[in-house]
Structure 1
Amino acid sequence: MAYYLYTPRNTSDIKSFRLRIETEDPLFKGKKKLKLAGRELGDIPNVIFQLHELEILDLSPERQSCLNFKVLAVPRGISKLTNLNVLILDTNELTELPEEICQLVNLESMALSNNMLDHLPAGFDNLKNLRSLHMANNKFEDFPMDLCQLENLEFLDMSDNNLTMLPVSISNLKNLHTLLLFLNNLSALPDSICDMTELYCLWIGNNNISRLPQNFGNLTNLDWDERYTSSVLDGNPLTYPPLEICRQGIRAIDKFLRSSDLNGVRKLVSNPTWEKSEEEAD
């Protein structure tokens, strides 16, 4: 397309970008969307930050022919787009985000997958309206704690990173219904995840998890029995419950864990050593 070869640079060229704003994207019908492409991604024109009416900004290369042009850094001027609801930055070469991005308090969805991020900027928890966050295929080793303050979050994808653990405070995400964590280095799930009862999609395949939390059966909305895929659990050294039990769904998991818990109590009660220690304590 012609605009790949020419990037307006002057304030007088704002009109050129305004003419490219669309409102008929079926995913964002009625929203004012601008998509940059080609050379524009390698050198983002600052003039677009004067388009204060923008609600959707797409800075992600889509086609193979566009992959030679990627966003290397998000300009600080992005903070001026205060009406943005959706920001798409997938498949670039970002190693960090500017703190100014945290001023976009009307953001509801952000796509950051396929970059080289290992942290989020300070103040990310200001994005209280964020409902959907895509961060797959990055370099995160630590789960960003700011995310646990985004209580309106409904969808979180952190698959294909280097996460080794989840914080206990992840249970603050009471409205989360989709959590994608496959292809990480998790060795366990925190017990607090059992309080996230709105979860219906949880993918934790290809990690190092051998046991599920004892109260995992509380997650009665999980769709594992209806929509089990390899990304759900396969690729873990699971023994408790065994993988064949887990593949049967949350009811089978709950039955196994309750039975195991009950059997453990029975063994403890019938253990003479336990009885003796109780008498000595008296």
Structure 2
Amino acid sequence: MALSHYMFTPRSTADIRTFRLRIDTDDPLFRGKKKLKMTGRELGDIPKVIFQIHELEILDLSPERESCLNYKLLAVPRAISKLTNLNVLILDTNELTELPEEICQLVNLESMALSNNLLESLPAGFDNLQKLRSLHMANNQFQDFPRDLCQLENLEFLDMSDNELSMIPESILNLKNLHTLLLFLNKLSALPDSITELKELHCLWIGNNNISRLPQNFGQLTNLDWDERYTSSVLDGNPLTYPPLEICRQGVQAIDRFMRSSDLNGHKLVNNTTWAKT
């Protein structure tokens, strides 16, 4: 892979380090982007001079190898607000319990990775990040779905799997551009009716929750990819009765037929799966 490099030398005489920003010209995701990766012991004491690199576009502060896991980031420096040109911020697999409000000033962020931390909430003003298209927050400690997320109208990918969520707000319908929503391994007992308004959804993983009933119009999510790669993960691990899991496994068309054929009051549920294939 061809690599070019951009060199940044701090002007401060107090810190004579020279940092190398990698520009990976072959990466279609980050072509031409100025990137800084720090791991291991570097995460224990991030030099303040890093936040003078105003042209930085990608900052990766996550351990990249098992040997680095002894060194994790415990807090995000408030000075991160100075990196106003950041497009990508990677903070996963650390021990973060909170994020500073200053992170909400990074209004050019398009992708943020926060998975595998100890987060329970997001800072006030998170909905300022209107350019966010991809947000990874799996394996944290969220019990409540952050309401600010529902104001990020450009969001296309959201991963909140492996948390402790008990409900999803109706306002999720604001995320009209969402094509991937990962919510498996939570404590959801139901889905909001408004989730059926997300017509761009191609991937919806809600397995391993406590869901017994799908929204009446769930069959309208006709863009869901229901091939063998996804079926086992979409709904398995839920105590589904409406429709039964064996019908759900046949895809959204079978679900839609079930909903249309069932009594609107829910008294006469169809449990025979043979008709769904006709």
- Alignment map for 1:53-64 (pairs within 5 Å): 53-64=55-66
Q: Distance in 1 between matches of 2:264 and 2:227?
A: 24
**TM-score, length-scaled by structure 2:** 0.88
**Structure 1 residue 38: deviation in Å?**
1.3
- Alignment map for 1:241-280 (pairs within 5 Å): 241-261=243-263
Q: Distance in 2 between matches of 1:264 and 1:188?
A: 16
Check 1:9–1:42 CA distance in 2 against 1; reply closer, same or farther (3 A cut): farther
Q: Distance in 1 between matches of 2:16 and 2:130?
A: 31
**Structure 1 residue 54: deviation in Å?**
0.4
Matched, 1:136 2:138: yes
Q: Distance in 2 between matches of 1:172 and 1:30?
A: 33
User: Does the 8 Å contact 2:214/2:243 carry over to 1?
Assistant: yes
CA deviations over 1:180-237 (Å, ceiling 9, x no partner):
0000000000101011111010000000000100010110101124533432111000
**Structure 1 residue 10: deviation in Å?**
8.1
User: Does the 8 Å contact 2:155/2:175 carry over to 1?
Assistant: yes
3-state SS of the aligned residue for 1:72? coil
User: Does the 8 Å contact 2:10/2:18 carry over to 1?
Assistant: no
User: Does the 8 Å contact 2:202/2:225 carry over to 1?
Assistant: yes
User: Does the 8 Å contact 2:10/2:17 carry over to 1?
Assistant: no
Q: Distance in 1 between matches of 2:257 and 2:125?
A: 43
The equivalent residue for 1:75 is 77
The equivalent residue for 1:120 is 122
**Structure 1 residue 262: deviation in Å?**
6.3
Q: Distance in 2 between matches of 1:125 and 1:187?
A: 26
User: Does the 8 Å contact 1:104/1:127 carry over to 2?
Assistant: yes
Q: Percent identity?
A: 81
Check 1:134–1:266 CA distance in 2 against 1; reply closer, same or farther (3 A cut): closer
Q: Unmatched 5+ residue regions in structure 2?
A: 1-8, 270-278
Q: Distance in 1 between matches of 2:268 and 2:40?
A: 67
Matched, 1:88 2:90: yes
Alignment: residue pair count: 258
3-state SS of the aligned residue for 1:231? helix
Structure 1: which amino acid aligns with 2:24?
E
3-state SS of the aligned residue for 1:192? helix
Check 1:122–1:33 CA distance in 2 against 1; reply closer, same or farther (3 A cut): same
Compare the two structures and name the one with the higher helix fraction: 1
Query: Whose radius of gyration is greater, 1 or 2?
Result: 1
**Structure 1 residue 43: deviation in Å?**
1.3
The equivalent residue for 1:21 is 21
The equivalent residue for 1:274 is none
Q: Unmatched 5+ residue regions in structure 1?
A: 1-7, 268-282
User: Does the 8 Å contact 1:14/1:48 carry over to 2?
Assistant: no
CA deviations over 1:97-122 (Å, ceiling 9, x no partner):
00000000000000000000000000
**TM-score, length-scaled by structure 1:** 0.87
Residue of 213, 219, 240 corresponding to 2:242: 240
